[in-house]
Structures are given as structure tokens and as C-alpha cells.
């Protein structure tokens, strides 16, 4: 079963691991997201109390940085690179294809929480563009047929 | 491993480790950079390990190493068989058996896996003969192929941390700054500010705490030089930072690195732990009175955080918004203390300058920096060469080289007989040349 939340004790554990330091807030948020796959409100409320940082400021940070999501993510987090090198090699068409076939807009998750589609600036593997990553695993030299068979696999 | 307590202990360790690296001993290296990983190099590496380990005649006699990025990412996975230096590209796991049988055992090349130049139709056996590499000057990046980035012993074996030992035992901070100024090293992050002048200003700034910071928030689309340096040779960056901290008078360092670079984060963390264990980070480095340590902060995906004031705000755990720059960060930076920020590649140049000397370094590059730090730019620069070009990957060339040489001599020109239209330099805010 896919974990979509995080127990409060675990949040305490993460805060403790960073010594409860205010300056480590971004690291703490990253660790919470690594467990819960997004930033659940109860966890942020707890964090606000523990670090004595206003909840609004935490949300300011959580929504400023692109790596954070305040909505639950899908089982497969798919990132299509639209950096210059991938763009000239057809990255945009790949994103459009996923968007069309799975009826999901970039930045959003499918209704069944199967796939989250994200477009990213550059994953730094430009020599192999266009790049698509699935749950962090990089696939280079992506083509439409390869993408279609990947989507089939996600649907099971 | 025990702490290295003095320069002479480091020298002895270097001699011992270097002697163990017999250049005549057979060695197979597999490139393990992110580019090659995307092409499936880890399966190739596994196949090499299994094949070498599974044969009782070979087990224990052949060395094997997964290295950092070699730069020729387009042609990955890359395998090199030493001592001959036979260079294989686009290797699949099923090719490994043949490579071991023919090249490792008999020293003969497997013709079909050699690099074939599309323009001339020639094949090349050795890495340094391939036009892509032949026309480069790989001072910083070339070390990637010689070491396992997860092994501090490999780095020490090729002379690593010798520059630090020299600086700590034979030089004063002002002398280090003087050397960096004379070297003509300028910031590799894009601004091109003379590094020595920055260090000097930060040293002179008043503050009860001072910081050195490594900017590894490489986010310009198409750029992956810094990632590959950290992934391939993390200790060179750390050594540069420790030397810089000594020169500036900083006791604390930060590396701000993108979370999108998980392999680089992991390799760097491992390197920091090893450096601490050996006593190159921490209290009383190399038996001297100098204390310094480094921490990592992972960026959370904000392009603007590559800008120094935004980066420092983010290091403080706040939203990465830039501030007006009339107050320089070298005077009031992180938590308002003097902070010296340099790019990954700039830091990696520092040990080289100390080791090889200013005269040697200043011969590479362009212009004249004697008396005027802005009169030229010295050393090499790593560029990522990507897009519609025949050979894509990372290239290291002397400062002042022409775009034509990079695009045609190294990059092999525009593929499919198409006409050259335009080149974008310097990332998103750079220029477009037609």
C-alpha cells in the first residue's frame, strides 16, 4: 500500500535528526516529503509548533520551492525534461502525449492517483535528451513508442 | 583508517597507495556517471564484476573500478581496458564476455565496439586518440577516469590533498591569496569575477564567523559540468574549499546542491565522511591548528537560488529571494557574516594551481593577468556541448578557444549534413550567436 501520510512521531524523528534547528527547515521538509510523498497539513502544523515558525511562513516556503508538493502525488511521478537540450529534441511532444493519453495536466495527478506529471527545467543528462524520469530513474533518448509502452506498464 | 596527522604522514600514505597502483596491472573501468547510468552502465558494470569474479583464472588478478563521468555521454556506457587503454563505447552487458576474453586476457581490441568517426570513417582504439578527446585539455576533468569517486585512497594515490598539506604547512593565508590572484583564475559560475580578489575582500572583512560556500545549484538548462565534477571527483572540490577556508579565515563551509542531483549528493556525503575520518575536515587538520568543516544543504528546486544572495537566504532555511546587492556577500552574507561563495568548478581548480604552480597555470588560457586581474582569464573551462551536434557531452578546453574549434574539432559539427544555424552560449541568460 502506498504511503500518503506520515505519523507525527516520524515528523518528530526528522526534526530531531536535524537538531530542531530553524535553519534546517528546508531539509526537514524534504525528509517529510521523502516519507509521505507530499507535505501533509497535519505534519506542517506540528512542525510550525515545534520550530516556532508561523504556519504561513512554512507554506510560503513549501509553495515557493518547486520540489515541494502540498498535494498527494501519484504512484508514478513522471518528470519530462523541457530544458533547452531536451526541448530541441522533442521533450514538449512527450509531455503533451502523456497529458493527452492519461488526461492529466502538468503539475497534476491522475484521478486514480496513478501518475503525477511534472515538467522540469533540466535534470543534467542533456547528452541523452529527451529525458523522462520515473520515480527518479532516468530514461534517456525517449521516443513516443517507448513512452506509450511505459504508460501501458504503469496501467498494469 | 587512522587520522593523517601531518604532511609527512600524508606523503607516506600517498607513496604506499600510489605504489599499489601498478600501471601495468590489468584494470577495467566502467563510467558510472549519470549519463551512462541512464544508458544502463550499472548492468554493464555488474556483468564485468561477475565475469571477472566468476573465472578462477582471473579472480583477484584484474582490477575493476566504476569511475565518474568521462564526458562522452552520448556514447555511453563507456568501458576502458587498461594498461592498453582500449576504449569501448555503447557497450551492452552481453558484450562484456568478449571484452574480457579478447581485450583483458589477450590485449586485443573488439573491433565492433571501438569508436568510429562518422566524418572520416576511421576507428580509434585509445580514448585519447578519439577526436572528441584529442582536442581537449582535460586538467580538471581528466582525473575522473582515474579514480573511483567513492574512494579517498584513489584520490590520495594520484596526489590528492597534497596541495592542502603544502598550504597548511608551508604557506601563510596571504600567500595563498596572492597565488590565486596571480594565477588568473576567475569564477566559473558565469560571473567571471577574479577569485583571488574575492578571497582577499572576504579575508579583510570583519566578522566573528566567516563562511565559504560551494554553489552546486547548477540549474541552467543544458549544463551538467558541476554535477559530473562532484560525481566524478568530489575530493577535488572539498580540497579546494578547505584551502579557500584557510586563506580566508573561515571555519565553516556549506555546499548548496540541487536535490535533483541525488547521485552527486550521495557521492559528496560519502567523500565528506571519508575526509573527516582521515582528518582533512574537522579539528586540527593535518596536525595543524586549523579547524574547518563542511555541511550540505539540498536545494529544493528554485532556479533563482543559484544567485548568491538567494542561495544564502535558502541556506538559512528561508524562501530564496535575492536581495539588493549594494552590500556584498563577502562582507555581509550568510547570517550577515562575511561569506565567500564560489562555483564547484572554481573550487576544483584551486588544488591544481597550488600543486602545479602559478607560472604553469597562467600559461594556459587567454590574455595577460599580471598587474590586472581583469586582463585575461586563465586555465581551462568545462563546457557541456549539447543539442543538435554530432558529439555531445562534456568538454574541457583552454579559456579563449574559439566556438568553431569546440563545435567542429571536438563536437564533429552538425549531424545529418545539415547547415549550422545558431549556438547558445552561457545558459538561459547567455547569448545566441548565428
Per CB distance under 8 Å, which residues of B are interface residues toward A? 34-35, 37-39, 73-74, 76, 218-224, 227, 259-262, 297-303, 314-320, 384, 386-388, 392-394, 424, 428
Record: contact B34-A138, CB cut-off 8 A: yes
What's the domain range around B299?
160-362
Residue B223 contacts residue B215 (beta carbons within 8 Å): no
We report the CATH number of the domain holding residue B68 as 3.40.30.10
CB-CB contact of A66 with B302 (8 Å):
yes
**Among candidates A67, A83, A85 on the partner chain, residue whose Cβ is nearest the Cβ of B259:** A67
Decide which of B79, B109, B126 is a domain's last residue. B126
pTM, rounded to two decimals: 0.91
* Residues B109, B257 within the same domain: no
- Does some domain include residue B369? no
Q: What is the pLDDT along chain A (156 residues), one digit of tens a residue?
A: 344 578 899 999 999 999 999 999 999 999 999 899 899 999 999 999 999 999 999 999 999 998 899 988 899 999 999 988 888 889 999 999 999 999 999 989 999 999 999 998 777 777 788 999 998 888 889 999 999 999 999 988
- B27 shares its domain with B173: no
Number of structural domains (chain B) is 2
Q: Where are the alpha helices (DSSP H) in B305-393?
A: 308-315, 344-356, 358-362
Q: Taking CB atoms and an 8 Å limit, are B319 and A85 in contact across chains?
A: no
Nearest in space to B195 (alpha carbons), one of B322, B297, B348, B336: B348
pLDDT at res. A1: 35
Give the pLDDT score at B428.
Answer: 67
**Residue contact A66–B302, C-beta within 8 A:** yes
> Which residues, in sequence order, are CB contacts of B120 under 8 Å at separation 6+?
none
Cα nearest neighbour of B297 on chain A? A27
**H or E stretch including B413?**
none
In a domain, B370, yes or no: no
Strand bridging mode A76-81 / A132-134? antiparallel
User: What residues of chain B lie within 8 A of the CB of A128, using their CB?
Assistant: 35, 38-39, 73-74, 76
Q: Report DSSP state, residue B56.
A: T
Please indicate, yes or no, whether residues B103 and B165 belong to a single structural domain of this protein: no
CB contact under 8 A, B386 and A129: yes
Q: What angle do CA A18, B261, B386 make, to 5 degrees?
A: 160
Task: Mark whether B251 and B320 lie in a shared domain.
Answer: yes
Give SS3 for A118: strand
- Tell me whether residues B34 and A124 touch, CB distance under 8 A: yes
Q: How close A22 comes to chain B (CA, Å)?
A: 7
CATH, residue B193: 3.40.50.11540
Cβ-based contacts under 8 A for chains A and B: 114
Q: List the grid coordinates of B186.
A: 576567475
Q: Are residues B205 and B270 in the same domain?
A: yes
> Consecutive 10-residue runs of chain B (434 residues): their mean pLDDT?
90 94 90 88 95 88 92 91 93 96 93 88 90 93 92 96 98 98 94 95 96 90 86 97 98 92 93 97 97 94 85 92 86 94 97 97 94 93 89 93 94 90 81 84
Which residue in chain B has the smallest CA separation from A133?
Answer: B38
**DSSP per-residue string spanning B271-292:** HHHHHHHHTSSBSSGGGSS--B
List of residues 6+ apart from B92 with CB closer than 8 A: B40, B44, B77
Same domain, B117 and B171: no
Task: Please indicate, yes or no, if residue B172 is contained in any of the structural domains.
Answer: yes
Both B292 and B189 in one domain: the answer is: yes
What was the pLDDT predicted at B261?
Answer: 85
How far is the C-alpha of A127 from the C-alpha of A134, rounded, in Å? 18
Per CATH, the number for A76-155 is 3.40.30.10
For residue B34, list chain A residues with Cβ-Cβ distance below 8 A. 124-125, 138
Write out the H or E segment, with its range, that includes residue B380.
strand B380-385
Listed residues B79, B110, B126: the one ending a domain? B126
Question: Does one domain contain both B116 and B182?
Answer: no
Indicate the residue among B362, B390, B411 that finishes a domain.
B362
Amino acid at each position: 500500500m502506498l504511503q500518503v501520510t506520515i505519523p507525527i512521531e516520524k515528523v518528530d524523528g526528522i526534526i530531531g535528526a536535524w537538531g530542531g534547528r530553524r535553519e534546517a527547515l528546508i531539509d526537514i521538509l524534504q525528509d517529510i516529503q521523502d516519507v509521505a510523498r507530499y507535505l501533509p497539513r497535519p505534519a506542517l502544523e506540528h512542525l510550525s509548533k515545534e520550530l516556532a515558525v508561523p504556519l504561513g511562513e512554512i507554506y510560503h516556503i513549501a509553495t515557493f520551492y518547486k520540489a515541494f508538493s502540498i498535494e498527494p502525488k501519484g504512484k508514478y511521478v513522471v518528470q519530462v525534461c523541457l530544458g533547452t537540450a531536451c526541448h530541441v529534441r522533442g521533450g514538449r511532444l512527450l509531455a503533451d502525449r502523456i497529458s493527452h493519453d492519461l488526461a492529466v495536466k502538468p503539475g497534476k495527478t491522475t484521478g486514480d492517483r496513478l501518475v503525477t506529471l511534472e515538467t522540469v527545467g533540466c535534470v543534467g543528462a542533456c547528452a541523452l535528451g529527451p529525458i523522462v524520469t520515473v520515480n527518479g530513474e532516468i530514461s534517456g533518448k525517449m521516443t513516443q513508442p517507448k513512452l506509450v509502452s511505459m504508460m501501458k506498464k504503469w496501467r498494469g | 583508517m587512522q587520522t593523517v596527522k601531518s604532511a609527512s604522514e600524508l606523503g607516506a600514505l600517498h607513496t604506499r597507495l600510489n605504489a599499489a597502483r601498478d600501471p601495468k596491472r590489468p584494470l577495467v573501468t566502467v563510467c558510472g556517471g549519470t549519463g551512462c547510468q541512464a544508458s544502463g552502465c550499472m548492468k554493464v558494470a555488474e556483468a564485468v564484476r561477475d565475469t571477472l569474479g566468476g573465472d578462477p583464472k582471473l579472480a583477484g588478478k584484474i582490477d575493476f573500478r566504476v569511475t565518474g563521468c568521462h564526458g562522452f555521454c552520448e556514447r555511453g556506457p563507456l568501458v576502458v581496458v587498461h594498461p592498453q587503454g582500449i576504449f569501448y563505447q555503447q557497450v551492452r552487458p552481453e558484450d562484456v564476455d568478449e571484452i574480457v576474453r579478447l581485450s583483458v586476457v589477450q590485449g586485443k581490441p573488439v573491433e565492433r565496439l571501438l569508436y568510429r568517426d562518422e566524418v572520416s570513417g576511421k576507428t580509434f582504439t585509445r580514448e585519447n586518440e578519439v577526436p572528441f578527446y584529442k582536442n581537449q585539455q582535460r586538467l580538471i576533468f581528466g582525473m575522473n577516469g582515474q579514480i573511483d569517486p567513492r574512494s579517498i585512497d584513489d584520490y590520495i594515490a594520484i596526489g590528492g590533498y597534497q596541495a592542502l598539506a603544502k598550504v597548511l604547512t608551508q604557506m601563510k593565508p596571504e600567500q595563498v591569496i596572492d597565488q590565486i590572484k596571480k594565477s588568473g583564475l576567475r569564477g566559473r559560475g558565469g560571473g567571471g569575477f577574479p577569485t583571488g580578489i574575492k578571497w582577499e575582500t572576504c579575508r579583510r572583512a570583519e566578522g566573528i564567523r566567516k563562511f565559504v560556500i560551494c554553489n552546486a545549484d547548477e540549474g541552467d538548462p543544458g549544463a551538467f559540468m558541476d554535477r559530473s565534477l562532484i560525481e566524478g571527483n568530489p575530493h577535488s572540490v572539498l580540497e579546494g574549499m578547505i584551502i579557500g577556508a584557510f586563506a580566508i579565515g573561515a571555519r565553516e563551509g556549506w555546499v548548496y546542491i540541487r536535490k535533483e542531483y541525488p547521485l552527486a549528493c550521495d557521492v559528496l556525503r560519502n567523500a565528506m565522511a571519508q575526509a573527516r575520518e582521515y582528518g582533512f575536515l574537522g579539528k586540527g587538520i593535518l596536525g595543524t591548528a586549523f579547524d574547518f568543516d563542511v555541511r550540505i544543504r539540498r536545494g529544493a528546486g528554485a532556479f533563482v537560488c543559484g544567485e548568491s544572495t538567494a542561495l544564502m537566504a535558502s541556506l538559512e532555511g528561508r524562501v530564496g529571494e535575492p536581495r539588493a546587492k549594494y552590500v556584498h556577500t563577502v562582507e555581509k552574507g550568510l547570517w550577515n557574516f562575511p561569506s565567500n561563495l564560489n562555483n564547484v568548478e572554481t573550487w576544483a581548480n584551486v588544488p591544481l594551481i597550488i600543486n602545479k604552480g602559478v607560472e604553469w597555470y597562467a600559461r594556459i588560457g587567454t590574455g595577460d593577468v599580471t598587474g590586472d586581474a581583469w586582463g585575461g582569464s586563465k586555465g581551462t573551462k568545462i563546457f557541456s556541448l549539447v543539442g543538435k551536434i554530432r558529439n555531445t557531452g562534456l568538454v574541457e578546453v583552454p579559456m579563449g578557444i574559439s566556438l568553431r574549434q569546440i563545435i567542429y574539432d571536438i563536437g564533429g559539427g552538425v549531424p545529418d549534413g545539415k547547415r549550422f544555424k545558431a549556438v547558445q552560449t552561457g545558459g538561459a541568460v547567455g547569448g545566441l550567436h548565428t
